[in-house]
Chain A
């Protein structure tokens, strides 16, 4: 099998960049909608904030796994 293309250097950084796209969009949606919900219903601030942070934590985990994996499986 012959080698047609090779990628060298800090590939983990590229991987992290790719892993951050989805969570970035997700966190944007979570906080955008959360702020909107608070603006519409300020008296439900406590519950909304808590669920907002919960959703944020779940979405953020994906980006963080992308950050850690290069250290674990790195050269």
Chain B
């Protein structure tokens, strides 16, 4: 059963449902990712709904733009404070991701990947930020949009750099394979590069954040649900709370790792478009 409360939809009996009070464990499901619009903006015949997710998305943009404009407002030769932090992030993307995966000609993609990394990271980070408590990337539309931006960057880029025919030829017929194998290899390579790549790119980020949020929600609800006048209940509640705290730390790690992997894969795709495999 799903009941609607102020602004969001929560699992049934979320308010006063405890062990031995007759109701079963209100396990969270996909409904904890559904949000009602806070307000809507009518623009001619188009209606734009602003839910919690939209607000977090805009907040993420403001935070990223705000921090990096502040960090690089008056760049000093010897960086201090915020500029130092901004430069560490920039060098991490440039040396750690772009130079290692794209190599030559990758420098001009540093800003693109830099923005991606920090935007995805802050959206993931909202999952453990008190008050927000929702990774915006756990709503499938957002990773899909990111993956499509990357997809429509590297596919046209590859067609320009290698020629439309060369792009598909290099993709489907990697050298150094026995000739008869191409019957099998060519369609597999085509499907995996053109169709599966953008799909898994989006699903990887989405599913990690979705699963992590669901896991945190399950243990938080368990900690609340088990509070009751019984030894088992209290012990279980304390254990669930401890697990929630531990998982929050684990999630912080996963969030950074997934942002890194998303950016790394984007860099690998762009690299494969710039230089054909040899």
Contacts and interface: CB of A to CB of B under 8 A. Distances in A.
Contact of B264 (A53, A60, A61, A64): A53
A59 B30 CA distance: 24
Contacts of B100: 46-47, 50
B118 interface: no
A54 to B, nearest CB: 6
Contact of A54 (B29, B200, B268): B268
A65 interface: yes
Interface in B186-205: 200, 203-204
A56 B203 CA distance: 15
Contact of B101 (A50, A64, A65, A71): A50
Contacts of B264: 50, 53-54, 57
Contact of A53 (B30, B203, B207, B261): B261
Contacts of A54: 261, 264-265, 268
Interface size bracket, B side: 10 to 19
A37 interface: no
A68 B200 contact: no
B210 A68 contact: yes
Interface of B: 29-30, 96, 100-101, 200, 203-204, 206-208, 210-211, 257, 260-261, 264-265, 268
Given A47-B100, A54-B261, A54-B268, 20 more contacts: A46-B100, A50-B264, A53-B260, A54-B264, A56-B261, A57-B261, A57-B265, A60-B204, A61-B200, A64-B203, A64-B204, A65-B200, A65-B203, A65-B207, A67-B207, A67-B210, A68-B210, A71-B29, A71-B30, A71-B210
28 contacts: A46-B96, A46-B100, A47-B100, A50-B101, A53-B257, A53-B261, A53-B264, A54-B261, A54-B264, A54-B265, A54-B268, A56-B261, A57-B261, A57-B265, A60-B204, A61-B200, A61-B203, A61-B204, A64-B204, A64-B207, A64-B208, A64-B211, A65-B203, A67-B207, A68-B203, A68-B206, A68-B207, A71-B29
